[in-house]
Amino acid sequence: MQIEEVVAFLKEKSIRSVVLFCHHNADLDSFGSAFGFGELLKRINPGLQVSIVTPGGLSRLSKRLAEKLRVEITDSPPLSAADMVVLLDVNTVIQLDDWGDRIRSLEVPILLIDHHAPHPETQKLASFSVLDETAASTAEIVYRFWRETGFDIAYQEALALFLGIAYDTRHFALANSETFQTILDLIDHGIEVKEALQMIAVPLELPERLARLKAVGRAKIHRICSWVVAVSETSAFQASACRALLKVGADVAVVGGVKDEKLRISLRSTGDFFRKTGLHLGRDVAVPLGIAIDGAGGGHEMAAGANGRGDPVASLEMGLDLIRERLSLPQDR
């Protein structure tokens, strides 16, 4: 689906209400994209009612942005009155928590805007999509809509997209040329880089620091070929714990845990590991692992996750086996 077609649809007078969905525990890319897209929708179609839903709430940093922007998040969107549903940065249906089934039963168009490796189930749910796996963030894809429609982006929307991009590119370390072109445009619309980045440079809160420390303390270290794979358990902050394990020296980190009977597993690797092995954590590990734990998994080359149910120890072992199998195959690159 092309951006012009989506815009033509949105301009129809009959469209009165649109509900935007972020992924579970919306990070800055998902939430910034939702806000940035929602504000554009209001420009395209003045009077449009736009609601933002964040399954499982906002991440710590997104909460700060939401407060600054004074955005209202709703748990009870007018779904039955919606003319369209938009999923932003949503890779797997399971990332919508219980909303997936409710959305599936709707008869309105569902638009997916995303930059993850396409997941078949999400593709099935969406009636049309604007996907670009080469985009460093979903916020950049949302900015393309701004650019193509020619509306002048205001400071608040520019800030939301800027922070989404900064977050997903790890402060521009994963940026590409389009990222920097977009950033230049956003700076021209009033973004002060230093000030904006300071907004999200806040110390971690105690529970997250404790989860990271516990994960590092409990980590089992595996040497596979010449790589260091660290596997650990925490019942929360699995992604954060993975990042901590990489910082202290792991090439790959796999962290899982159960909370409210839901098993969540996060996976991260270094760029060096991905370049030399070609192992795509989303496609090669998280997707099959998600199926194995009776849920779903997916993600990027170096950052992925799987949610489902089951015993964390056995499930982490499965994740490790998938990595081991893939690394022992002859390398295709």
Binding site for Mn ion (CB under 5 A): 29, 89, 138, 168
> What Rg value do the Cα atoms of the chain yield, rounded?
20
Place of tokens 């971690």: 204
With a CB cutoff of 8 Å and minimum separation 6, the contacts of 315 are 256, 263, 265, 289, 292, 293, 308
Q: Which is nearer to Mn ion, 108 or 166 (CB)?
A: 166
- Collapse the DSSP code of 21 into the 3-class scheme (helix H, G, I; strand E, B; otherwise coil) and give the result: strand
Q: In the bound complex, what is the minimum distance in angstroms from residue 194's beta carbon to Mn ion?
A: 23
Q: In the bound complex, what is the minimum distance in angstroms from residue 137's beta carbon to Mn ion?
A: 5
Tell me how crowded residue 175 is: count the other CB atoms within 10 A of its CB: 19
Residue with nearest beta carbon to Mn ion: 29
Q: Which is nearer to Mn ion, 230 or 286 (CB)?
A: 286
To which H or E segment does residue 19 belong? strand 17-21
* Order of all β-strands in the sheet with 296-299: 220-224, 227-233, 252-259, 262-269, 303-308, 296-299
Q: In the bound complex, what is the minimum distance in angstroms from residue 136's beta carbon to Mn ion?
A: 9
Q: Which is nearer to Mn ion, 22 or 216 (CB)?
A: 22
Distance from C-alpha of 110 to C-alpha of 93, rounded to nearest angstrom: 13
Q: In the bound complex, what is the minimum distance in angstroms from residue 179's beta carbon to Mn ion?
A: 12
Q: Which is nearer to Mn ion, 89 or 301 (CB)?
A: 89
Q: In the bound complex, what is the minimum distance in angstroms from residue 18's beta carbon to Mn ion?
A: 20
Q: Which is nearer to Mn ion, 89 or 284 (CB)?
A: 89
Q: Which is nearer to Mn ion, 141 or 289 (CB)?
A: 141
Q: Which is nearer to Mn ion, 168 or 233 (CB)?
A: 168
Q: In the bound complex, what is the minimum distance in angstroms from residue 32's beta carbon to Mn ion?
A: 9
Distance from C-alpha of 295 to C-alpha of 131, rounded to nearest angstrom: 23
Q: In the bound complex, what is the minimum distance in angstroms from residue 11's beta carbon to Mn ion?
A: 27
> Taking the mean position of all CA atoms in its chain, how far away is CA 264?
15
Backbone angles phi, psi at 83, to 5 degrees: -95, -15
Q: Which residues of 52-81 are buried (b: 16+ CB within 10 A; e: fewer)?
A: bbbbeebbbbbebbbeebebebeeebebee
Place of tokens 């022992």: 328
